[in-house]
Amino acid sequence: MQIHLSPSDGVPIYLQIVNQVRLQLAAGRLTEGDELPAIRTLAERLLINPNTVVRAYRELEALGIVEKRRTNGTFISAAGSPLALAEKRRLLAERADALLAEAHQMSFPLEELIVLIRERALETVEVAS
C-alpha cells in the first residue's frame, strides 16, 4: 500500500490516510483480505506519529472498511469490498460535478458535453487496443 502525504494543504494526516485507502479501494488496488502495513511500519515509512496511524485505522474500522484480526493485523474487510462500488460512484460524482461546473462557466451545452464524453471514450478504447 502506497500513501503519499501532502503537507501543504492542511488536511490532517490521519484523514489523508483514510482518504487514500478509500481511493485505492475504489480503484481496486486494495481488495478484501489485503493487509494494511503494521502501525509502526507505516509510521516509520511516512515519518509520522504512530498514534496518527492508529487514529486512521480506527476511523477506517468505524467506516467498516477494515477489520482487526486476532493476529493483530488490520485487513480490508468483506464489507469493504461492496463499499468499493459506492466509493467509485462518490469519487466519479465529484469529478462529474467539477466538469459540469466548468462546462456551465463556458456556456457549453450539456448535450454536447455528453457527445464529447462518448467521443473521448471511443478514442481511449482505440488507443488502448
Partner 1 sequence: MIVEVENVTRQFGEKRALNRISLTIPKGTVLGLVGENGAGKTTLIKHLMGLLKPDQGTVRVFGKDPVVDPVGVLGQIGYLSEEDILPGWMRLHELIRYSRGFYPSWDADYAEALRRDFGIEKGARIRELSKGQRARAGLIVALAHRPELLLLDEPSSGLDPIVRRDILGAIIRTIADDGRTVLFSSHLLAEVEQVCDRVAMIRQGELLFCDDLESIQRSYGWITVRYPEVQPTPPLLEGAVSWNGDGREWSVLVHGLPGAVEAETTLRGAAIVDRRWATLDEIFVGLSTELVGR
Residue 124 in contact with partner 1, rule: CB under 8 A: no
CA atoms of 47 and 52, how far apart (whole Å): 11
The two beta strands, 35-36 and 74-76, are: antiparallel
**Which part of the chain contacts partner 1 (CB under 8 A), choosing from 1-9, 19-27, 82-90, 109-117?**
1-9
**How many alpha carbons fall within 13 Å on the CB side of residue 31?**
2
Least distance to partner 1 from the beta carbon of 90, Å? 19
Tell me whether residue 9 or residue 111 sits nearer to partner 1 (CB atom). 9
Smallest separation (angstroms) from partner 1 to the CB of 12: 5
Verify binding: residue 49, partner 1, rule CB under 8 A: yes
Nearer to partner 1, 45 or 90 (CB): 45
CA 104 from chain center: how many Å?
27
Which one of the spans 27-35, 45-53, 66-74, 86-94 is the region binding partner 1 (CB under 8 A)? 45-53
Q: How far apart are CB 93 and partner 1 at their closest, in Å? A: 19
**Residues contacting residue 1 through CB under 8 Å, at least 6 positions apart:** 21, 24, 29, 30, 34, 36, 37
Is 5 a residue that touches partner 1 (CB under 8 A)? Answer: yes
What is the amino acid identity at position 41? Answer: T
